[in-house]
Amino acid sequence: MKINQICLLPLCVALFTLSSSIGLSKEETHTYKGSWRGKPVMVSIIWKNFGGNDDIEGTIYDRVSRKAHPFTGINLRPGYIEFGFADDNYKLSSTEKNGQIIWKGGPGDSLTFSRKGAKGGVTTGQPPVNMPRPVTPPNMPRPVPPKEPPYLPRPVQELTMEPIVWPVGKWPEGIATDGRNFWVAESGQRTLAQLDLDNGSVLKRVNSGRLPVGLVNFRNESIFSVVATDQKLIRYNQAGNGGTFSSIPEYPNDITSDDNAVWVVMWINDTDSAAQVIRYDPDSGATTKSGILGSSAADVIRAGKWLWVSHASGKESSLDVLEPNGLQQLPSVPLNGHFSALAGNEHSVYVAGGEWDVRGEIVRVDPGQMQEVARQQLPGEFIYRVTADSDHVVAVGYHGTIWVMSAHDLSIEKVIRLTWGQYTPASVMLLGESIFITTHLGNGENGSVLKIPEVIEGGHP
């Protein structure tokens, strides 16, 4: 697997050149894909400068173990950083070769960052250059949200539950149904698994290619999946027959669908410095591409009349809004906070995130007004995955706490903790009255599907 590959995570914030930023008087967040001690990682760094050396803080996210390692440190001079974890310190110096910045220290202590098309950076001390993105014009009046009909709050139920565990293969990611069966992307073993909808037994495995990740239902008769490393879109029907539907011209990061089309958000040149959406017509095979979008594109969802793309850029995230057929871009929706995970229904868009190890947050955006109309803060855990139907929103924290909320005003209805212990969700899905979550935890390197049954009153099939 290439070191600058998959990132479906909220840590994907703004990608800039790795610069010492000497002389800057504000914080800047930079994120890079690379390797750390032989493992693929995402590195998020906040550079702080107040007239002297840069203080840095951030997170190295191990994409194999799915663990986050916070660090703090200092950039003593261009090309030299010192940072430390809770149990160790590292001193690294940088070199640049063939469009890559390589930070090296002692044996095994190295970070390699792909910077295709970027010149200068750390070795020149030049400030980062950010790709401009369309934003809402400053003189556009901000409409006042209309009052919604009152919804009577329910008492919050605190539940501890034993999940039903379905064993699956290595590193399960996306999950979807084809209207009859479950499908799980087993990203670590290059397969898709078709599961019995009632008991989770494996009915069939099909070869997918390298690193299948996102999965979506299409018309309750088939599924589509993006295969990240091989940059292709595959399709399988209920009988488990199918294969490659199309190649994908750039690196795929997420996928969504409705009854007419499938959309994939792509990273340009294998980095998250710019993105593009491509629309596939499953009947004709025709494709349509959007214009170039901004950096740090994370998720894509079809909701209301529009297509939505989240950009997880530090503390000032945003949503791109596109017309779903021609992919013309509308004014973006600014979000105050760090958000990436998306869900939606016919009336709302939900975007989730928060502040690591402090709190989670989820925002409801009205697709008609194109602005935030509700916000909920959740204590202690960054919200990692989110899903919704017309009545409920389900948010899952980084350590596995589950919140069930009203889809109307985001009032909390249930808080669910599993006897299974802490885990990190890879994906979450609502089906009927049950919640389904994939996680990399299981037997050895194999993962699991966790079924939490009969917790969604009046859930939709």
Average pLDDT over residues 336-360: 95
pLDDT tens digits, one per residue of 70-99 = 777 765 555 556 666 544 555 555 555 555
Give the per-residue pLDDT at 75. 58
* pLDDT higher than threshold 70 for residue 278: yes
- pLDDT tier at 457 (50, 70, 90 boundaries)? confident
pTM: 0.69
Q: Express each pLDDT in 413-426 by its tens digit.
A: 999 999 999 999 99
159 pLDDT more than 90:
yes
Q: State residue 145's pLDDT score.
A: 46
- pLDDT at residue 61, rounded to an integer: 64
Phi then psi for 268, rounded to 5 degrees?
Answer: -80, 130
SS3 64: coil
The per-residue pLDDT for range 232-262, each reduced to its tens digit, is 999 999 999 999 999 999 999 999 999 999 9
Q: What is the pLDDT of residue 296?
A: 93
Alpha helices for 323-418 (secondary structure H): none
d(CA 313, CA 28): 10
44 or 12: which carries more pLDDT confidence? 44
Q: What is the pLDDT of residues 22-52, one digit of tens each?
A: 333 456 666 666 666 556 666 766 666 544 4
Provide DSSP, 357-375: TTEEEEEEEETTTTEEEEE
Whose CA is closest to 19, among 104, 98, 128, 92? 128
pLDDT (tens digit per residue) in 109-123: 455 544 333 332 332
What pLDDT shows up at residue 101? 57
The confidence band for 432, taking pLDDT boundaries of 50, 70 and 90, is very high
For 133-274, strand residue ranges (E) read: 157-161, 164-170, 172-177, 181-186, 191-196, 202-207, 212-218, 222-227, 232-237, 242-247, 251-257, 262-267
What is the set of domains in the chain, with CATH numbers? 28-123 (2.40.128), 157-452 (2.130.10.10)
Of 153-162, 330-339, 384-393, give the lowest mean pLDDT range: 153-162
Asked if residue 261 lies in contact with residue 271, where contact means CB atoms within 8 angstroms, the answer is: no
pLDDT of residue 16: 26
